[in-house]
């Protein structure tokens, strides 16, 4: 398979771009490979923002189907495939919370009280509530960047693309967020695996 | 637990210290907290089954060149607002449908295609755009009163059946068996002799139109929703869906509160039926005829037409149905007529339900079924409980229009009027009674057609003359209020499937067939000798008994 050779010689970003081009050229298996590469991280991204498995599966499904539909609109000059598909997922999550509470601001999904949220999975409910209280002092953009960096382990360049910022600004926001939480060390529960930057 | 003894926790701490060196003074505390809290982190592992299923779905859509297809693992019944995006096959369909499960009602909206509106509308097409028109038997209507009959194609969704004639008495086991046998024999019982049949006449002059007649065709939804969202965990695991290829949602039945909702995605219709608990019926535990009789509705239980219309309006409003595009609603049941005609009023069985119809209007023209029933949105009223029992014939009101040549032969129209339908066959053994018709008006006749060559069905609305029945009907069972005759030539030229009278079976003993014929039975082109009363076992020859009417009789 073409991708298996490329994957040994190129980085993940370049691999993604080649896969996109291969799919556009008629190689359907290229999209399957893109799917296999990203589905777990996209699911994690969505689940940790919805806390509800069926909802997360629904949004992940829509994410990849929209990606399939819109892949012709993907422009490698404007960012990585990873950032692009994360943006699709993020927009769908926002749509989801807007429907739950139409008057809520785009970035305020995290602020929704548990009662108005989708039914969180039982095993995650308590932990989610803890995280909710710990992050409540951050503004939505700070929170999103902290989550993308800590929970998702995304590089700052990618985070910047996802949230519509610059890499430098994303780093700045992250540092300021940590500074703001310096006196509340419990927030560090949210800093987790997958540091890849 | 050893602080920061995992690589992940250590990496987190190191990065934090790198970002904010002032935290170094609290490093030990930081390490312990990070480690403990990492272990408390919610897991977010993807289900392998979901991952496989989504990949399978993506493959299907890549194969079919469909750009986007709805896919949801949420049940229809999840109380959440979820959008389902459907798309047609690229340039072929070019439709992107959105299926919304309303958070407020829990009921799904009709699938709406990309640019496909559910708003009423008419699109004019070139003349004869619908191809050849034909008049087919087995359409809508039939006998009965001034009621639009529910079509099997539009579902109905089970539940209660709208009653348009007096409700039958409870069936006994014997009656059920007898009914089943009658159906199995595919035969009709012989009506009491002599029987009377109406033959209609109109005294005035019939003026046929000279200009082309606009025929309307109902537009069905373009959206072909996928059935993915209906395939729940158990269904997904029971079979390998990939073995079946792509699939679509044809219809679905939902239960919400006290009502079941049937959605027909192919026809673009919704019907609603009350879900009844049989045990709540007063005759549920009846074991005796006396008990049944006591639980029957009485004349005093019947509601007025005004009450029925109020109930129907309230129900339509509750369901969010805009009835302003329909005509003035009216009650269309015949129980009053039947009651007035009945000779044994004490034995009359009052119906449990009655119907209110909101008459359908196309281009401002009223619509009638072929046998004179008013077409439209029907609301069934539960008389006993004084509430709506259901709603049906609720369609997307979108049509195409195309001109066809008008009928030119006035004699053929007169023949259709005389027969009360396009069929002119008369039973020679029947006693015909002339029944007068009043002044005709213009309307549209609803005609359901099956296209054999394509296997598709279509609904047409053909310009017609509507004659009110003003004379006394020939028998107490006739309740037709209108006679409808179409004004398009092709329907007369291409009348199909004339009614073939079903074989008759006299009540009483089974029909003995002469099996002792030494010739081995009659030739294929000769009728089978049937003994309808000869105690000797039948005629000695295979000649038909001239005393037996060999002609078929009309359906009764």
Within 8 A of B51 by CB-CB distance, chain A residues are 39-40
User: Quick one: pLDDT at residue B142?
Assistant: 33
Nearest Cβ partner for A189 among B16, B26, B37: B37
Query: Are residues B34 and A35, on separate chains, in Cβ contact within 8 Å?
Result: no
Range of B70-74, B253-257, B533-537 with top mean pLDDT: B253-257
Report residue B357 as tokens.
């119809």
Residue B28 has pLDDT above 50, yes or no: yes
Residue % of chain B over a pLDDT of 90: 22
β-strand pairing of B456-468 with B376-382: unpaired
Residue A80 has pLDDT above 50, yes or no: yes
Residue B5 has pLDDT above 90, yes or no: no
Q: Which residues contact B173 (CB under 8 A, 6 or more apart)?
A: none
> Is the model's pTM score more than 0.80?
no
Closest CA to B47 of B236, B246, B229, B247: B236
Q: Phi and psi at residue B524, in whole multiples of 5°?
A: -60, -30
Higher-scoring residue by pLDDT: A178, A73: A73
Nearest Cβ partner for A58 among B34, B38, B72: B72
Which of A161-175, B103-117, B391-405 has the weakest average pLDDT?
A: B103-117
Higher-scoring residue by pLDDT: B116, A6: B116
Nearest Cβ partner for B16 among A40, A66, A188: A188
Q: Which helix (H) or strand (E) holds B255?
A: strand B251-256
Higher-scoring residue by pLDDT: B36, B350: B350
Residue B72 has pLDDT above 50, yes or no: no
Query: CA of A5 to nearest chain B CA: how many angstroms apart?
Result: 22
User: Quick one: pLDDT at residue A157?
Assistant: 82
User: Quick one: pLDDT at residue A117?
Assistant: 43
User: Quick one: pLDDT at residue A45?
Assistant: 86
Residue % of chain B over a pLDDT of 70: 59
Query: Are residues A28 and B50, on separate chains, in Cβ contact within 8 Å?
Result: no
Query: Are residues A48 and B38, on separate chains, in Cβ contact within 8 Å?
Result: no
CB A71 within 8 A of CB A84: no
Higher-scoring residue by pLDDT: B246, A113: B246
Reported as a single tens digit per residue, the pLDDT across B203-230 is: 999 989 999 999 999 998 876 677 776 7
CA B373 – CA B399 distance, rounded (Å): 21
Within 8 A of B3 by CB-CB distance, chain A residues are none
Nearest Cβ partner for B16 among A43, A61, A191: A191
Average pLDDT over residues B98-115: 34
Which of A110-124, B38-52, B266-280 has the weakest average pLDDT?
A: A110-124
Residue A140 has pLDDT above 60, yes or no: yes
Within 8 A of A132 by CB-CB distance, chain B residues are none
Higher-scoring residue by pLDDT: B491, A105: B491
Average pLDDT over residues B504-509: 40
Residue A9 has pLDDT above 60, yes or no: no
Other CB atoms within 10 A of residue B202 CB: 20
Q: HSE-up of B483 (CA within 13 Å, CB side)?
A: 28
Residue B98 has pLDDT above 60, yes or no: no
Determine which of B44, B55, B65 to mutate to test the interface with A (most A C-beta atoms within 10 Å): B44
The band of B136, judged by pLDDT with boundaries at 50, 70 and 90, is low
Higher-scoring residue by pLDDT: B412, B295: B412
Within 8 A of B34 by CB-CB distance, chain A residues are 188-189, 191
Handedness of CA B237, B243, B244, B249 (dihedral sign): positive
Work out the mean pLDDT of chain B and round it to a whole number: 69
The chain A residue lying nearest B17, using CA atoms, is A178
Nearest Cβ partner for B68 among A65, A95, A123: A65
Within 8 A of B83 by CB-CB distance, chain A residues are 62, 95, 99
Question: For residue B194, is the peptide bond before it cis, meaning its omega torsion is within 30 degrees of 0?
Answer: yes
Reported as a single tens digit per residue, the pLDDT across A39-68 is: 998 998 888 788 788 888 889 998 999 899
Please give the interface size between A and B, counted as residue pairs whose CB atoms are below 8 Å apart: 138
User: Quick one: pLDDT at residue B375?
Assistant: 92
User: Quick one: pLDDT at residue A154?
Assistant: 79
CA B468 – CA B441 distance, rounded (Å): 9
HEC secondary structure over B121-184: EEEECCCCCCCCCCEECCCCCCCCCCCCCCCHHHCCCCCCCCCCCCCCCCCCHHHHHHHHHHHH
Residue B509 has pLDDT above 90, yes or no: no
Higher-scoring residue by pLDDT: A100, B406: B406
The band of B483, judged by pLDDT with boundaries at 50, 70 and 90, is very high
Reported as a single tens digit per residue, the pLDDT across A180-196 is: 666 555 444 444 333 33
User: Quick one: pLDDT at residue B106?
Assistant: 31
User: Quick one: pLDDT at residue B310?
Assistant: 95
Reported as a single tens digit per residue, the pLDDT across B112-125 is: 443 455 667 888 89
Reported as a single tens digit per residue, the pLDDT across B288-326 is: 777 877 888 888 899 999 999 999 999 999 999 988 889
Range of B153-167, B177-191, B428-442 with top mean pLDDT: B428-442
């Amino acid at each position: 398979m073409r991708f298996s050779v490329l994957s040994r010689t190129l980085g993940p970003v370049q691999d993604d771009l080649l896969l996109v081009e291969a799919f556009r050229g008629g190689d359907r298996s290229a999209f399957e490979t893109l799917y296999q590469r990203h589905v777990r991280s996209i699911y994690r991204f969505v689940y940790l923002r919805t806390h509800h498995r069926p909802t997360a599966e629904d949004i992940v499904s829509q994410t990849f189907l929209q990606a399939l539909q819109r892949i012709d609109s993907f422009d490698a000059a404007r960012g990585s495939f990873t950032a692009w598909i994360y943006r699709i997922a993020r927009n769908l999550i926002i749509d989801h919370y807007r429907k739950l509470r139409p008057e809520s601001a785009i970035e305020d999904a995290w602020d929704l009280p548990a009662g108005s949220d989708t039914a969180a999975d039982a095993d995650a409910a308590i932990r989610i509530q803890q995280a909710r209280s710990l992050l409540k002092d951050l503004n939505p953009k700070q929170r999103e960047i902290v989550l993308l960096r800590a929970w998702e382990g995304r590089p700052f360049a990618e985070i910047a693309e996802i949230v519509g910022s610059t890499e430098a600004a994303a780093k700045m926001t992250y540092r300021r967020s940590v500074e703001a939480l310096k006196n509340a060390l419990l927030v560090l529960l949210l800093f987790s695996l997958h540091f890849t930057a | 637990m050893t602080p920061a003894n995992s690589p992940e926790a250590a990496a987190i701490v190191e990065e934090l210290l790198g970002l904010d060196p002032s935290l170094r003074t609290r490093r030990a505390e930081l390490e312990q907290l990070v480690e403990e809290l990492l272990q408390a982190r919610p897991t977010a592992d993807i289900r392998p089954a979901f991952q496989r299923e989504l990949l399978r779905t993506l493959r299907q859509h890549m194969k079919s060149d469909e750009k986007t297809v709805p896919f949801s693992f949420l049940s229809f019944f999840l109380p959440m607002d979820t959008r389902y995006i459907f798309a047609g096959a690229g340039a072929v369909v070019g439709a992107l449908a959105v299926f919304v499960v309303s958070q407020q009602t829990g009921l799904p909206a009709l699938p709406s295609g990309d640019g496909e509106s559910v708003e009423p509308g008419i699109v004019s097409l070139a003349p004869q755009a619908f191809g050849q028109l034909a008049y087919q038997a087995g359409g809508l209507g039939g006998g009965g009163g001034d009621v639009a009959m529910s079509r099997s194609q539009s579902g109905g969704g089970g539940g209660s059946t709208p009653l348009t004639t007096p409700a039958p008495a409870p069936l006994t086991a014997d009656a059920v068996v007898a009914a089943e046998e009658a159906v199995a024999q595919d035969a009709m019982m012989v009506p009491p002799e002599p029987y009377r049949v109406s033959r209609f006449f109109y005294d005035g002059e019939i003026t046929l139109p000279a200009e082309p007649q606009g025929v309307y065709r109902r537009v069905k939804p373009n959206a072909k929703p996928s059935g993915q969202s209906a395939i729940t965990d158990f269904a997904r695991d029971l079979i390998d869906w990939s073995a079946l290829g792509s699939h679509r949602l044809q219809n679905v039945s939902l239960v919400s509160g006290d009502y079941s909702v049937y959605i027909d995605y192919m026809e673009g219709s919704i019907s609603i039926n009350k879900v009844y608990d049989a045990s709540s019926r007063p005759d549920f535990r009846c074991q005796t005829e006396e008990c049944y009789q006591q639980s029957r509705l009485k004349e005093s239980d019947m509601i007025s037409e005004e009450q029925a219309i109020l109930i129907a309006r309230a129900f339509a409003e509750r369901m969010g149905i805009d009835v302003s595009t329909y005509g003035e609603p009216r009650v269309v049941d015949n129980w009053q007529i039947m009651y007035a005609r009945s000779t044994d009023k004490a034995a009359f069985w009052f119906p449990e339900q009655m119907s209110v119809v909101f008459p359908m209007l196309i281009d401002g023209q009223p619509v009638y079924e072929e046998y004179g029933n008013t077409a439209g949105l029907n609301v069934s009223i539960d008389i006993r409980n004084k509430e709506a029992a259901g709603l049906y014939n609720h369609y997307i009101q979108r049509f195409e229009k195309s001109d066809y040549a008008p009928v030119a032969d006035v004699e053929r129209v007169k023949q259709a009027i005389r027969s009360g339908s396009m069929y002119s066959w008369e039973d020679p053994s029947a006693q015909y009674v002339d029944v007068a018709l009043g002044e005709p008006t213009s309307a549209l006749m609803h005609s359901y057609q099956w296209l054999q060559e394509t296997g598709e069905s279509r609904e047409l609305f053909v310009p017609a003359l509507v004659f009110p029945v003003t004379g006394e009907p020939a028998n107490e069972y006739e309740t037709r209020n209108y006679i409808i005759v179409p004004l398009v030539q092709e329907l007369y030229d291409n009348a199909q499937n004339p009614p073939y009278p079903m074989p008759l079976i006299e009540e009483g003993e089974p029909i003995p067939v002469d099996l002792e014929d030494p010739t081995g039975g009659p030739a294929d082109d000769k009728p089978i000798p049937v003994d309808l009363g000869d105690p000797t076992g039948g005629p000695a020859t295979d000649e038909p008994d001239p005393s037996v009417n060999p002609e078929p009789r009309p359906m009764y």
